[in-house]
Amino acid sequence: MKGRHPDFTTSRLFVEATDEESGCKWTLHALREKTIVGTITFTWNGSIGNLRYTMTDEGDQQGYITEALTSILSYLARTLLLTRIYGEAGSAAVWRRNGFQLQANRYARELHH
């Protein structure tokens, strides 16, 4: 952990955190392939958190975004005590697969501590 947000490792990823003025950018490094496979950016404004992702795997067929989101969502709920997070841009299927529901023009998910 170099700043206020943690790096972490899953079974297939090393996820490197870079603090930004309004949140954090996590870069997803696939351990086996030794390549960057995507990023997840978290911005925080008051009590509202937003996530946005990019990936090299269209539709997250390899499940890297899903794997990283599992840890990130847990961290946001337990450490920052957020109760709701919004997903912006990206694939509707990826957001839905990760428990987000469409509300107005963005995806939302309740978080539990």
Q: What is the pLDDT along the chain (113 residues), one digit of tens a residue?
A: 455 788 999 999 999 999 998 899 999 999 998 999 999 999 988 778 999 999 988 778 899 999 999 999 999 888 888 889 999 888 899 999 999 999 988 899 999 87
CA 10 to chain centroid, in Å, comes to: 13
Given a contact cutoff of 8 angstroms between Cβ atoms, the answer to whether 97 and 87 are in contact is no
What is the model's pTM?
A: 0.90
DSSP output for 82-108: -SEEEEESS-HHHHHHTT-EEETTEEE
What span, in angstroms and rounded, lies between the C-alpha atoms of 64 and 31? 11
For the purposes of burial, counting CB atoms within 10 Å of the CB of 76, is it exposed (0-12), middle (13-18) or buried (19 or more)? buried
